[in-house]
């Protein structure tokens, strides 16, 4: 089981965001400070790994290996203002590829919770059933999209990655990712309307 490390950090900004450059510099100076970066990204790396490998056990292994490799390579890491997570996701993708776990399970779309309506309460069973039905319907529609459009929607809306981070993972420019997201949403909207055509 992965252990979460919680350490106070002085790398916060007044607006509540984290200055990753300071976190990276602190971790490079003292590996004990790596815990703040771990805490910041462990859940996102785990979710990414889980979507790719399909089991909790394998996702935990991939996550652990990702952070071990990142810590080992940290002295050579050069901060360039890009999100530290982009580097972590690249490491995770390499770990998964070496494990031979890519292929048909690479981008499953089950339980894309970000597509569930947030305004419905968890207390009302009627709301829960409605939300579950809408989620299943939307997931089925997403699965009809081409694989690259499925992947970009999952990375953007389920994993919360920015276009630049997605571009690093998919080997595309930020502009190309923006276009792909747009095409995927247009395509999804058209499929949704087709499903409700009378």
Model pTM above 0.85: no
* 88 and 132 share one domain: no
pLDDT at 17: 60
pLDDT at 15: 41
* 92 and 118 share one domain: no
- Residue 48: which domain range? 20-99
pLDDT at 134: 62
Evaluate whether residue 2 is within a structural domain: no
Which of 50, 69, 99 delimits the end of a domain? 99
Rounded to an integer, what distance in angstroms lies between the CA atom of residue 100 and that of residue 89?
17
* 93 and 49 share one domain: yes
Can you say how many angstroms the Cα of residue 92 is from the centroid of all Cα atoms in its chain? 11
CATH number reported for the structural domain that contains residue 124 in this entry: 1.10.10.10
Which of 99, 125, 140 delimits the end of a domain? 99
pLDDT at 133: 58
Which of 49, 65, 99 delimits the end of a domain? 99
Rounded to an integer, what distance in angstroms lies between the CA atom of residue 95 and that of residue 62?
6
Rounded to an integer, what distance in angstroms lies between the CA atom of residue 195 and that of residue 89?
35
Evaluate whether residue 13 is within a structural domain: no
* 181 and 143 share one domain: yes
Residues of the chain with pLDDT under 50: 1, 3-16, 101-130, 197-198
Evaluate whether residue 5 is within a structural domain: no
Number of domains into which the chain is organized? 2
Rounded to an integer, what distance in angstroms lies between the CA atom of residue 69 and that of residue 88?
9
Q: Is-contact 185 177, C-beta < 8 A?
A: no
Evaluate whether residue 142 is within a structural domain: yes
Query: Residues 137-190: pLDDT tens digits?
Result: 777 778 888 888 888 888 888 777 888 888 888 888 888 889 998 998 888 888
CA torsion angle for 20, 34, 101, 177 (degrees, to 10)? 0
Instruction: Give phi and psi for 12, each to the nearest 5.
Output: -75, 160
Evaluate whether residue 27 is within a structural domain: yes
Evaluate whether residue 1 is within a structural domain: no
């Amino acid at each position: 089981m992965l252990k979460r490390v919680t350490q106070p950090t002085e790398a916060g900004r007044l607006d509540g965001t984290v200055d990753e450059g300071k976190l990276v510099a602190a971790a490079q100076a003292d590996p004990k400070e790596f815990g703040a970066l771990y805490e910041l990204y462990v859940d996102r790396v785990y979710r990414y790994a889980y979507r790719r490998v399909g089991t909790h056990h394998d996702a935990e292994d991939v996550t652990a290996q990702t952070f071990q490799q990142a810590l080992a390579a940290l002295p050579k890491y050069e901060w360039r203002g890009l999100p530290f997570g982009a580097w972590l996701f690249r490491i995770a993708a390499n770990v998964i590829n070496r494990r031979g776990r890519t292929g048909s399970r690479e981008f499953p779309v089950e339980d894309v919770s970000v597509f569930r309506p947030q305004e419905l309460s968890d207390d009302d069973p009627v709301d829960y059933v409605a939300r579950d039905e809408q989620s299943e319907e939307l997931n089925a529609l997403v699965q009809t999209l081409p694989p690259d459009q499925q992947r970009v929607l999952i990375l953007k809306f389920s994993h919360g990655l920015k276009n630049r981070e997605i571009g690093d993972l998919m080997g595309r420019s930020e502009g190309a990712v923006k276009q792909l997201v747009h095409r995927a949403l247009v395509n999804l909207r058209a499929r949704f309307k087709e499903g409700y055509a009378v």
